[in-house]
Structure 1
């Protein structure tokens, strides 16, 4: 049975450069709405801007019978982090970023969450000769290393993204995320793989799954879609259907059993309907993969004649028989 979660910030008001979408609602109202969305029992909540106090959060989780997929710690919104938090040239700014992650681990421990995830979006650059890359990387290794070592029973997952809020983020691919964890050398860490980040970063998300699954590190996934040009957070399968099927195929192959968390923004579309589309399509593809002859598919892949593999895809995935 698939476990599906929602980043609960998307259940409330969201904004882009020009418009506001949907209505601002409280955490209790978000959790109440979760109970009406078919296919979900998990939440990813953002610390410290959405949640900060463990006691009322635990009460709300119990009230609505919800589990925590992850605590997402935000280290980009503070004014000090505009030029990077974990990679800042200023020791006190780096220390503040590390403190945010440690506090998120305290919060996760108190509410019974099993992981903290962090996407270092403020850590990157825009121009040539803007940063000393080696120094920035060492600062990131040391900052994340200190944060990851704290309460190590709550693993820290690093989410990579090609850009935003910086023109180019320092951790922008699965390979660099693995390199980062290799340099940190702290056991019990992981990588958060966002399907859309992988797509618009010109990766193949399925290959990223294989790379992470074959590494020594844990991994956790966010699901969505985009046009390959920007992180639009569309609902699943709308732009890259076959890539999403392959993504799920590799997750099934490697026996992924953590949450599929919807990092999807229902801007112009109904909130409930958008997230139910994610769940519905993901479950249908997962069940489809149970019903088709994967041994034959793998044999065709091994033979290397893609025209024959494509016939299999036509008949068994697209049902064009």
Structure 2
């Protein structure tokens, strides 16, 4: 078995993307990487990343599209249609980057699609919007897989996709063979989900596209070392 690594911890130490990839290549058992789009491709672009991956014997596992503060009113369920259109275009650009780098997997964490106050959201309409977005992506890019990463809160007080149960419901509504889920261990602990339960159900349905291994105490996204707090749940 080979693992995939993310490069943020290397970037935070001041490394460039090629330098981070070179460092990761020296870790036994790691043959793949996950990159954020667009920030990890800023500067050299796809060409430079492709060259660095090849030089270090690594492959791209997935592109994780990252929405920053521009989308704080909501990537796809907010009040601003132009922002939703822009968010969709950003995902499309991420799809092209993943395809060019040899991956068929795009991971979407919609951190701003949520609400902070009671009566702030029409939940039914917002959910239908999410379903429509994933259906459209799946139909327009049948060669790609789209993975839903959930988190109960942060950036918003409440998110539109807060738990593994809601993800399973959403996948039923989307009803596309190339849409699945990525489970982040710390997000699951925050949601009071039991990791093995969610993983088993998604795996049985052929919809488990990834697992982010980390740990935390459950109050926030601590991002701690694997198994440092919940060793048995990790196993």
TM-score tier by shorter-chain length is over 0.9
- C-alpha contact 1:162 1:171 (8 A) present in aligned 2: yes
Deviation string 1:167-196 (CA, Å, 9 cap, x unpaired) is 111111112112112222222111001111
Shift of 1:35: 2.2
Moved over 3 A (4+): none
| TM-score, normalised via structure 2 length | 0.94
> Separation in 1 of the partners of 2:208 and 2:234?
20
Match of 2:55 in 1: 63
Q: Does 1:54 align with 2:46?
A: yes
Q: Measure the CA separation in 2 of the matches of 1:177 and 1:166.
A: 18
CA gap of 1:25–1:216, structure 2 versus 1, over 3 A, is closer
C-alpha contact 2:115 2:157 (8 A) present in aligned 1: yes
TM-score by length of 1: 0.70
* Deviation of 1:162 (Å): 0.9
SS in 2 for 1:88: coil
Determine if the alignment matches structure 1 residue 203 to structure 2 residue 193.
yes
Counterpart Cα distance in 1 of 2:174 and 2:152: 21
2:211 alignment partner in structure 1: 221
Q: What is the total number of aligned residue pairs between the two structures?
A: 233
| Deviation readout 1:275-315 (Å, 9 max, x if unpaired) | xxxxxxxxxxxxxxxxxxxxxxxxxxxxxxxxxxxxxxxxx
Query: SS at 2:215's partner residue?
Result: coil
Tell me, in whole angstroms, the C-alpha distance in 2 between the residues paired with 1:173 and 1:33: 34
Verify the 8 A CA contact 2:73 2:79 in the aligned structure 1: no
**What's the secondary structure of 1:50's corresponding residue?**
helix
> SS where residue 131 of structure 1 aligns?
coil
Q: Answer 1 or 2: higher relative contact order, Cα 8 Å, separation at least 6.
A: 1
Contact 1:189 1:218 in 2 (8 A): no
Corresponding residue SS for 2:183: strand
SS at match of 2:4: strand
What CA RMSD, in Å, does the superposition of the two structures yield over aligned residues? 1.4
Cα displacement string for residues 197-230 of structure 1 (whole angstroms, at most 9, x for unaligned residues): 1112101000011111222524311100101222
Residue in 2 that maps onto 1:10: 9
In the alignment, structure 2 segments of 5+ residues that lack a partner are none
The answer for the alignment partner of 1:293 in structure 2 is none
Following superposition, the deviation at residue 143 of structure 1 comes to 2.0
Give the number of the structure whose alpha-carbon radius of gyration is greater. 1
Corresponding position of 1:169? 159
Matched, 1:31 2:21: yes
Please give the per-residue CA displacement for 1:17-44, whole angstroms capped at 9, x wherever unaligned.
xxxxxx3221111111112323312110
User: How many angstroms apart in 1 are the aligned matches of 2:62 and 2:14?
Assistant: 22
Give the alignment of 1:76-115 within 5 angstroms.
77-79=68-70, 81-115=71-105
